[in-house]
């Protein structure tokens, strides 16, 4: 079968809800991918920050096949060994008092379960927990409350009230590159604005504040240090639980196990998916005991949540991240990329900003650095040029002009140098 056959069959039988890169991927190894036409790519997007330990890692394959040959499915009605051991491991690696996990199948589901948990926590304390706050420009998923919490209207067109469920409000994002203030002032201002959001857009009964510690889909936006200092004070004073959505930024992506670790964040709840399962569909809402204790047997159920194969792979995935020191590699190669990209920025005015942490890097393209006019068309073109030259990059940003460099954390120095060289050539072709 040829790639064109697959593409036309897909058009015939698959709901065309995706904007696809026009290649049919067939296999991968480490940070390399191959397509059906025999082309090879250095993967700098990791299936949207998922394959953190690399493609087809032998230990992941073994964990999956070993567990599959024993028991594939139990349902949530029974205990199973990998599920419990995975929950224990999550408690070990997550910050602060996070301890209790609820396993599910995706990032959106992790958010949905976090919403249920904070609502239950609110009502158990005699509150309504009617409101939920998230950030403008955020991304938390495309279903249910996750979709409403997502602060980007471009994903919401035509979905009517489904896109804005009652009680969800948004607060400004600290976006230093697009702020007229200094970095610190920008953080401070955005955090203080949360008070206004609570006072003017809710009845004061906020079940939780949701935040990606580094915004992924929104364009790898890193909040200034001042943001979290002020924000956490406000949330504490108002007794509002703080949910850290680490679906994209977790598991070494940012050069720390969790992106919130850069600010020593100790959330009341954390959501996990993507890099959690190394490619298997698994997510989790992880809670402190005060929140988890509100749940009664029967409140939650998922047929597949905590599936033994997904859990066994996720557990092995975390062990690989630790054994192969992939968090450290993410920080090291991330620094190398940042230096190389900043160097390129000095020679190419189209690169307005280079930002990020570890291997969660955003390159914001602008047609004029003084006006910062977004170069969204050029961003699409460069992704295409690089794809044709054997490098897969991500594209995102609130304005659609941010290249996202989020490779598997096992990417080598040599592969990274090749990516930088090809990026420079791509820019000159642009
Ligand atoms: C931060 C964050 N939260 C939640 C989600 C939703 O995850 P999923 O696509 O697995 O539903 C995403 C997906 O990109 C994400 O980046």
Give pLDDT tens digits for 298-330: 999 999 999 999 999 999 999 999 999 999 999
The percent of residues in the chain predicted with pLDDT above 70, rounded, is 100
Q: Which residues contact 322 (CB under 8 A, 6 or more apart)?
A: none
Q: Tell the CATH topology of 3-53+325-429.
A: 3.90.1150
Distance, in Å, from the CA atom of 23 to the CA atom of 18, rounded to the nearest integer, reads 13
Helices (H), 33-139: 46-49, 58-70, 81-93, 107-124
Domains of the chain, by residue range, sit at 3-53+325-429, 60-323
Average pLDDT over every residue of 277-306: 97
**Closest C-alpha to ligand 1, atom 3:** 140
Helix, strand or coil, per DSSP, at residue 270: strand
pLDDT of the residue at 338: 98
pLDDT of the residue at 4: 95
Q: Buried b / exposed e across 277-307, counting CB within 10 Å, b at 16+?
A: bbbbebbbbbbbeebbebbeeeebeeebbbb
pLDDT of the residue at 407: 98
DSSP state of 203: -
Is a pLDDT exceeding 90 seen at residue 282? yes
Is a pLDDT exceeding 90 seen at residue 385? yes
Contact by Cβ (8 Å): 120, 295: yes
Please state, as a whole number, how many other Cβ atoms lie within 10 Å of the Cβ of residue 222: 22
Is a pLDDT exceeding 90 seen at residue 290? yes
How far does the centroid of ligand 1 lie from the alpha carbon of residue 3, in Å? 28
Q: What pTM does this model have?
A: 0.98
How far does the centroid of ligand 1 lie from the alpha carbon of residue 207, in Å? 21
Give pLDDT tens digits for 390-399: 999 999 999 9
List for the chain the helix, strand, coil content (%; round to 5): 45, 20, 40
**Closest C-alpha to ligand 1, atom 16:** 248
How far does the centroid of ligand 1 lie from the alpha carbon of residue 349, in Å? 32
pLDDT of the residue at 380: 98
Q: Which residues contact 401 (CB under 8 A, 6 or more apart)?
A: 219, 364, 365, 366, 374, 375, 376, 378, 379
Mean pLDDT rounded to a whole number for the chain = 97
Give pLDDT tens digits for 338-354: 999 999 999 999 999 99
Out of 108, 244, 310, 398, mutate this one to test ligand 1's pocket (max ligand atoms within 8 Å of CB): namely 108
Is a pLDDT exceeding 90 seen at residue 332? yes
The DSSP annotation for 126-161 comes to: T----EEEEETT----SSHHHHHH---GGGTTT-GG
Distance, in Å, from the CA atom of 358 to the CA atom of 238, rounded to the nearest integer, reads 33
Give pLDDT tens digits for 123-136: 999 999 999 999 99
pLDDT of the residue at 81: 98
pLDDT of the residue at 204: 95
CA dihedral 298, 299, 305, 307 (to 10 degrees): -30
**Closest C-alpha to ligand 1, atom 13:** 141
Give residues (CB < 6 A) around ligand 1. 48, 106-108, 111, 139-141, 212, 216-217, 245, 247-248, 273
Confidence band (pLDDT; 50, 70, 90) for 1? confident
pLDDT of the residue at 295: 96
Confidence band (pLDDT; 50, 70, 90) for 384? very high
Q: Which residue has the tokens 């509100």?
A: 294
Is a pLDDT exceeding 90 seen at residue 82? yes
DSSP state of 231: H
How far does the centroid of ligand 1 lie from the alpha carbon of residue 169, in Å? 19
pLDDT of the residue at 184: 97
pLDDT of the residue at 373: 98
How far does the centroid of ligand 1 lie from the alpha carbon of residue 69, in Å? 30
- What is the dotted CATH code of the domain comprising 60-323? 3.40.640.10
Give pLDDT tens digits for 359-382: 999 999 999 999 999 999 999 999
Question: What is the number of the ligand 1 atom nearest to the C-alpha of 283?
Answer: 10
How far does the centroid of ligand 1 lie from the alpha carbon of residue 92, in Å? 23
Give pLDDT tens digits for 21-73: 999 999 999 999 999 999 999 999 999 999 999 999 999 999 999 999 999 99
Give pLDDT tens digits for 193-249: 999 999 999 999 999 999 999 999 999 999 999 999 999 999 999 999 999 999 999
Q: Which two tokens stand for residue 275?
A: 């890099």
């Amino acid at each position: 079968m040829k790639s064109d056959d697959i593409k036309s069959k897909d058009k015939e039988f698959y709901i065309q809800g995706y904007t696809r890169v026009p290649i049919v991927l067939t296999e991968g190894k480490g940070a390399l991918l191959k397509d059906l036409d025999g082309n090879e790519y250095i993967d700098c997007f990791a299936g949207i920050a998922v394959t953190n330990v690399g493609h087809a890692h032998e230990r992941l394959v073994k964990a999956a096949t070993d567990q599959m040959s024993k028991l594939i499915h139990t349902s949530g009605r029974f205990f199973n060994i990998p599920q419990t051991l995975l929950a224990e491991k999550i408690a070990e690696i997550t910050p602060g008092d996070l301890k209790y996990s609820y396993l599910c199948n995706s990032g959106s589901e992790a958010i949905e379960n976090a919403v249920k948990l904070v609502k239950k926590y609110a009502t158990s304390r005699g509150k309504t927990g009617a409101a939920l706050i998230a950030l403008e420009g955020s991304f938390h998923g495309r279903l249910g409350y996750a979709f409403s919490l997502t602060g980007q209207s471009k994903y919401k067109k035509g979905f009517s009230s489904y896109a804005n469920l009652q009680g969800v409000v948004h607060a400004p994002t600290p976006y230093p590159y697009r702020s007229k203030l200094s970095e610190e002032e920008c953080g401070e201002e955005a955090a203080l604005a949360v008070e206004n959001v609570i006072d003017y857009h809710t009845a004061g009964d906020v079940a939780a504040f949701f935040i990606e510690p580094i915004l992924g889909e929104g364009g790898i936006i890193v909040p200034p240090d001042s943001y979290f200092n002020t924000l956490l004070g406000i949330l504490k004073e108002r007794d509002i639980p703080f949910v850290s959505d680490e679906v994209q930024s977790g598991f070494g992506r940012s050069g720390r196990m969790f992106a919130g670790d850069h600010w020593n964040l100790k959330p009341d709840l954390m959501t996990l998916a993507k890099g959690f399962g190394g490619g298997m569909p698994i997510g989790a809402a992880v809670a402190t005991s005060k929140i988890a204790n509100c749940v009664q047997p029967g409140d939650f159920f998922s047929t597949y949540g905590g599936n033994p194969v997904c859990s066994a792979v996720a557990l092995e995935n975390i062990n690989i991240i630790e054994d192969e020191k992939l968090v450290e590699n993410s920080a090291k190669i991330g620094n190398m990329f940042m230096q190389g990209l900043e160097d390129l920025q000095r020679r190419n005015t189209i690169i307005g900003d280079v930002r990020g942490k570890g291997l969660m890097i955003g390159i914001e393209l602008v047609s004029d650095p003084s006006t910062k006019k977004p170069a969204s068309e050029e961003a699409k073109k460069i992704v295409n040029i690089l794809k044709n030259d054997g490098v897969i990059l991500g594209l995102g940003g609130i304005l659609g002009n941010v290249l996202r460099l989020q490779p598997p954390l096992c990417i080598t120095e040599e592969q990274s140098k090749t990516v930088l060289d090809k990026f420079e050539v791509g820019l000159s072709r642009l």
